[in-house]
């Protein structure tokens, strides 16, 4: 099992939305590096930190679990979708997604607090210029975040 951090804008899709739905596809990833991680590395059973971005209170807000392996993002084929990609085809999809399931809310953990933790200094999230919406989280980083949010070792 691996750990991941998925960024989402809470005005579009929040941890509360995921809680209400219980399960959802994680669509709309349109960065090749993030797409490659979703397609090639994110696996059934992996755990995910849900991170609210592009809002007043950016930070970790919950946990989800990956409940499917990657499959083609069907929105790339829909001309009415904001995620439509005219270069994609059923025979050669360009974009992938996974389904995730709500696990729990976490006490809000701000990016500012995470940046102040030496144990998280190597985490891609806290490094300047990293804007990926999907990124790996090491076992040690996961454990640190679980401790900071009162969940012990996860």
Please, what are the domains in the chain? 3-148 (3.10.590.10)
Q: Does the pLDDT at position 96 exceed 80?
A: yes
DSSP string, 68-120: S--EE-GGGG-TTSTT--TT--SSS---EE-EEEEEEEEEEEEHHHHHT-GGG
More confident of the two residues 67 and 127 = 67
Q: Does the pLDDT at position 8 exceed 90?
A: yes
Query: pLDDT band for position 122 (50/70/90)?
Result: very high
Burial (Cβ within 10 Å: 0-12, 13-18, ≥19) of residue 82? exposed
Helix (H) or strand (E) segment spanning residue 43:
none
Q: Does the pLDDT at position 88 exceed 60?
A: yes
Helix (H) or strand (E) segment spanning residue 37:
helix 32-40
Please tell me the pTM assigned to this model: 0.94
Task: Map residue 34 onto helix, strand or coil.
Answer: helix
pLDDT at site 100: 98
Separation of alpha carbons 2 and 42, rounded Å: 8
More confident of the two residues 131 and 136 = 136
pLDDT at site 130: 78
What is the DSSP code (8-state) at residue 2? -
pLDDT at site 131: 81
CB 118 within 8 A of CB 46: no
Query: pLDDT band for position 28 (50/70/90)?
Result: very high
Query: pLDDT band for position 61 (50/70/90)?
Result: very high
Helices and strands: H and E segment counts in the chain = 4, 8
Q: What mean pLDDT value characterizes the chain?
A: 95
More confident of the two residues 151 and 111 = 111
pLDDT at site 129: 80
């Amino acid at each position: 099992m691996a750990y991941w951090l998925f960024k989402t804008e809470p005005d579009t899709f929040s941890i509360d939305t995921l809680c209400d739905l219980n399960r959802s596809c994680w669509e709309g990833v349109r960065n090749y590096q993030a797409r490659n991680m979703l397609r090639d590395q994110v696996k059934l059973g992996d755990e995910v930190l849900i991170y609210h971005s592009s809002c007043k209170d950016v930070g970790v807000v919950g946990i989800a679990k990956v409940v499917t392996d990657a499959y083609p993002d069907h929105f790339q084929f829909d001309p009415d979708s904001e995620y439509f990609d005219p270069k994609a085809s059923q025979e050669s999809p360009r974009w992938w997604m996974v389904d995730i399931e709500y696990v729990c809310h976490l006490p809000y953990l701000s990016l500012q607090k995470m940046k102040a933790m030496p144990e998280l200094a190597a985490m891609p999230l806290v490094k300047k210029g990293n804007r990926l919406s999907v990124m790996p989280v090491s076992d040690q980083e996961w454990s640190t975040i679980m401790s900071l949010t009162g969940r012990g070792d996860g």
